[in-house]
Structure 1
Amino acid sequence: MADVTVKELADVVKISVDRLLSQMKEAGLPQTAAEQTVSDEQKQTLLSFLKKSHGESAEAPKKITLKRKATTTLKTGQGGKKAVTIEVRKKRTYVKREEVDNSAEKARLEEEARLAAEREAAAKAAAEKVAAEKAAAEKAAADKAAKPAAPSADKPKAVASKKEPAKKPAEEDVAQKRAEAEVAAKRQEEGAGRKKGKTDKKRERDDDSRFMDRDNSGNRGNRKAKVKLKGGNRRASKQANEHAFTKPTAPVTKDIELPEAITVGDLAQKMAVKAGEVIKELMKMGVMATINQTLDQDTATLVVEEMGHKVSKLISDNALEEAVTDSVSYDGEETTRAPVVTVMGHVDHGKTSLLDYIRKSRVVSGEAGGITQHIGAYHVDTDHGMVSFLDTPGHAAFTSMRARGAQSTDVVILVVAADDGVMPQTEEAVQHAKAAGVPIVVAVNKMDKETADPDRVKNELSARDVIPEDWGGDVPFIPVSAHTGQGINELLEAVLLQAELLELKAHFDGPAQGVVVESRLDKGRGPVATLLVQNGMLNKGDIVLAGTCYGRARALLDENGKQTEGAGPSIPVEILGLNGTPDAGDNFMVVESEKKAREVAEFRETKLKEQVQQRQQAAKLDALFNNMAEGEVSSLNVVLKADVRGSLEAIIASLQKLATDEVKVNVVSSGVGGITETDTTLAVASGAVVFGFNVRADNAAKKVVEANDVDMRYYSVIYDLIDDVKQAMAGLLAPELREEIVGVAEVRDVFKSPKFGQIAGCMVIDGTVYRNKKIRVLRENVVVYEGELESLRRFKDDVQDVRQGIECGIGVKNYQDVRPGDQIEVFDVREVARTL
């Protein structure tokens, strides 16, 4: 740690410089000015002095005791009415490791000294016993030798020969006793060695020596061999039980693969460290995180590098999807394809009628209310070549559908009625086409009418930056009539000319790719999706991945409902066999195996759920703060079911636009298909109304609706649905409160009453004064009090109201400062219903 000045140290410890200098002076340090430096040793000296002055020991504590108390409640008796409080107390003492180690070493030394003393005492006792036995043996031998009183002189050799054998057994006994004493001492020593914890190798040597000392049968070599074999087996079993782990002598560097998002716990597991170490490293970096918190790839990379590891590979979350996308490749050159044309325009300007004339069919008659509410996709073989058409609805509610149609098309035909001119949806169609960068061909329709004015259309579109070719612009204007067929050939020629200028090309071989135009749930055939192929060839039996849905193409149908074996670029086709209804506008592709398609679909669905949850969480937080700031917002809960996905999205967008600061539409659930029992049950639980757009409820759902009185309505035209929702939302609006002055009385004089206090003698000068309504006291046209009447009398009688021109006595409740000349204003508050 670098030296610091006295002033810097004072800032760190957050005390004044003068106080720090006084403390340093008391500690015996030489510093006397704020600019002088303080070394690390001087800091430690100061710290020791301060601890000592506060009664603390400079040394670290040797022992610490922790106490813990836990209280729980145990419910007993019938029904758990009786509660017994249980208190558990725990106490644990921790001793510093050095103290523990010293006490263990001390105990070991004491044990060794005790064992040595025992061995020495045992050896001494054995020696004394041997000496006593030897002395007794010698005395016995001497007594035995002295028994003959007068030995014969002529037989000295015999006496000598008799004494020799008497002495030999005594010496042998002494030797044997000595050996037994040594063996006993040795055994006692062995027992002490086992208590001390001798190793296996030492025990084997002791066993060897014991067997060799006690073996008198000539099998010494065999016993030794047995002992060695036994020891070898023991060593072999010990080696077999040992694990192969060896403690690393140097830091281990790991190669880590990082995904785009990883939790702290998973990152710690990859680096083989504790999660606490990763959290500490993050805290050093200024990031506060928990073990379950998710880190981004950049943060995780910094943590890995700071902890001494290497990032070997950065894994993308979309790796699975990218692998499937990259697997699609095409060989050969691209060839010219047919243009995809989107027909746009205002409602009832003749878009579908124009296409009806082109493909010689009656499409309008099949639409509810005479308007198109789905995206129609079909291709037409004309004399000038094949053209694929997308017919988008013209109503404002289907703005998102028209935008999606513009993004998947090559040329836009903008249909404008010659007798009606440019309308709001016409302007929106122009904006969508320009945003998508798609060329426009204007079809001025209804030229067969007497009121047709094509110059008006040109003038109005020129103001929107759509300049006709004959005015120096680049947009062809073709006068047409859907009834007489006027200008149809010229319109197709203009479209094909624009397509030639665009040089539209695609691969006709290889796996198909394209966009989902529409999807619906058919009761007999299941999910049906309309696909527009943009590249490759879609064949029957291919495995199709469309958004979060996948499946094998069991059948391919053209726009007329006839089965076909394949569809190439610019060909719209209906497909059966998907496991769900993909969203309109989703991209589709043909993959190799159903397994890959399922994996990618599940991955997309999981990612979509995460995004929805994040949006919902954000919406909840926003709603929370808005409610705190502006008060609670009323909401109309709706369960919506439609026949096709495009209509469903358009209706939801329209309902959300109706939201105000006080009331909003909350779509609890939405989907494609008929109304089921699950939908109605959800409506009951959430207090929602059920809307069915071109769909009906089954019998089980009708029973739930009847039993719970659920509001369920069917619609086939979007106008009616939106109008009903507007009325329902208006009913949720808080009524407007309006004040209405009903009477004014002027105070002429003030009287005192022992019962009511001050009584104002008044003349009603305007309207009628009511006793049960609120009042205001005005003084010089300024409100001085607002409250209610306590009494209203005419002479001595209590009355409920007094009309204009009549005198009365008024007692104002809780107000005793009424003066002559004041006016008492009687008003009423009325609630007025509001509308959107």
Structure 2
Amino acid sequence: AKREAEEKAEREAKEKAKRNVDTNAQREAEEKAKRDAEQKIKQEAARKEADELKRRQEEEAKRKAEEESQRQLEEARELAEKNKERWSAAEEKKGDMEDTDYHVTTSQYAREAEDEADRKVEGGRRKKKKPSSKDEKARNTRGQRGGKGGRKGKLAKPTSMQHGFDKSATVAKQDVVIGETIVLSELANKMSVKSTEVIKVMMKMGAMATINQVIDQETAQLVAEEMGHKVVLRKENELEEAVLSDRDTNAEAVPRAPVVTIMGHVDHGKTSTLDYIRRTHVASGEAGGITQHIGAYHVETDNGMITFLDTPGHAAFTAMRARGAQATDIVVLVVAADDGVMPQTVEAIQHAKAAGVPLIVAVNKIDKEGANPDNVKNELAQYDVIPEEWGGENIFVHISAKQGTNIDALLEAILLQSEVLELTAVAEGMASGVVVESRLDKGRGPVATVLVQSGTLNKGDIVLCGQEYGRVRAMRDELGQEITQAGPSIPVEILGLSGVPSSGDEATVVRDERKAREVANYRAGKFREVKLARQQKSKLENMFSNMTAGEVAELNVVLKADVQGSVEAIADSLVKLSTDEVKVNIVGSGVGGITETDVVLAEASNAIILGFNVRADASARRAVEAAAVDLRYYSIIYQLIDEVKQAMGGMLAPEFKQEIIGLAEVRDVFKSPKLGAIAGCMVTEGVIKRNNPIRVLRDNVVIYEGELESLRRFKDDVQEVKNGYECGIGVKNYNDVRVGDQIEVFEIIEIKRTLD
């Protein structure tokens, strides 16, 4: 019973202690919560009080600022009212002082001289200045220096020292009138800027120029627009157009004779055909027959007249067409039946098609053995020259110039073609035509053969031919006989021009010799200026190309081939291979075997020798061995070009590509007394190699580019560390490596370039 009582008492004591602990804990928690709530209320009250205090301070500061500004405004108003009279008096005094004389000298004699000069300048505009009391006083105290009378005052300057204008801050933009050519200094003058400013602008545009240089209209327009001016391009040939447009326009057009040019390959019978036509159809009753040949003549047939132009070669035909002179109506293409189509035949076809002139084919030498006219038709069909019987537009006539076979049929075909063309011209009024050929005759001066195209050319007319002019003193026909007038499609030889005109120049009759001289002089001046501007431009272009030539590799070539055609074809193909970086320079070329001279030339110019279907002789071979010159033989043109292309590819500057081979992440950084900062890294990609270029990346931004100086695994130096391994990396001359950086290792790979 005692033990039970003790246990019960002990149990009750424990329960009581436990209750006391729980009660205390609960009370403490409630007290803490109460304290926290009170603290929070106090903080909220303090914050509200602080905000209220801040607001009051701001309102107080604002009110004080407004009061201060109001006070300052009142003070300024009072000050202005108080000093208004004094300031007005000061302004009036300043105005009076500006009206008084301003002297730049202290000597009384010099002052009087200044006053006298001012009176002379102002004498025409206002009354003569009366000597002021100050001047009287100055005369009485003449010779005195210093003091009040000798000081320089900031008063009105003498009239002789005043500028007539104020310099504006910016250049006035204006309309700049530019002719076809203009001197740089004149352009600068028109834009009201210094010539040096224009030169600077041209240098920025990539053109070097001097102050006296003639520049063309296009360049001047670019410069003026670059400097902000509006450009007006002047039409300088207004006088020329006015003179040439002053013509008789009321005459009616009538049919005219066709103008025919005979073209073809060498030795195909052009001259023989012309000679036969001349011999049979030109009037033969004149004394001596044809005394001289003037490059053009006309023949009379039963059905009408035909004018033939005997232009030597295709160059003259091209030159006349290039100058815009459409002299020919029909081209007769002479092709030998035994020879077929040759290179000059093709060239003649191209010229005729480019000029838009109908083509009549005369198949010559049909009397010879081996003549095959049908073969000629087949060959010409390849060049789009189709006979009428095959459904084409070209008339084919089989002739023999030697026997005279079918020459009349050829003339009929020409007249038939001219009827189809419906050729007309104005027969009355002032003449115009084209210069077929011209020369300087020893006894007669400048002589020009003119083909009249419209109107009637009379003896005594004033003719304007290109850059030359003059009165027609004498006219002769193709027989050398004096004539007084010539109508459309008639060729005549005229004398009396001021100089020798160019072949293809337009010949125009004008009314006034003085105006003709002005137009001729203007044309000559324009031609001279344009030529000068073009020359200077080409010089500049050459200068710039020479400046950059040091950066261009050159492959020098000595070329020898079996025929001239091969030389030209290969040379043309090789030159077309040239690029901005590598140029093919053909230092020598020719037909025939390779000689010792070719080897010497190749050695001197550091060239290679290319032989196409030719070989070197014994002395040349010895020279090649002695000089160690590169000599190559070819028989296929494509093989030659491919090998030269490969050689040029080897001369191209190689391209370089950077290839990333490894990436390591910095996990830790250690300090080394010898190497500085050592990055403890984990290789995350690829391979890290020693002595390779590297980049340090921070947040994927390159912060350093250099070289990997040391690479270690534990304490051993290694050449490379692969992916997944740890290593220590030392970066050369860089110690700011941080944890989290990435080290990127790369290689520079050379890529060989080709011309393709």
Give TM-score scaled by structure 2 length: 0.47
| Structure with higher RCO (Cα < 8 A, 6+ apart) | 2
TM-score, L = length of structure 1: 0.43
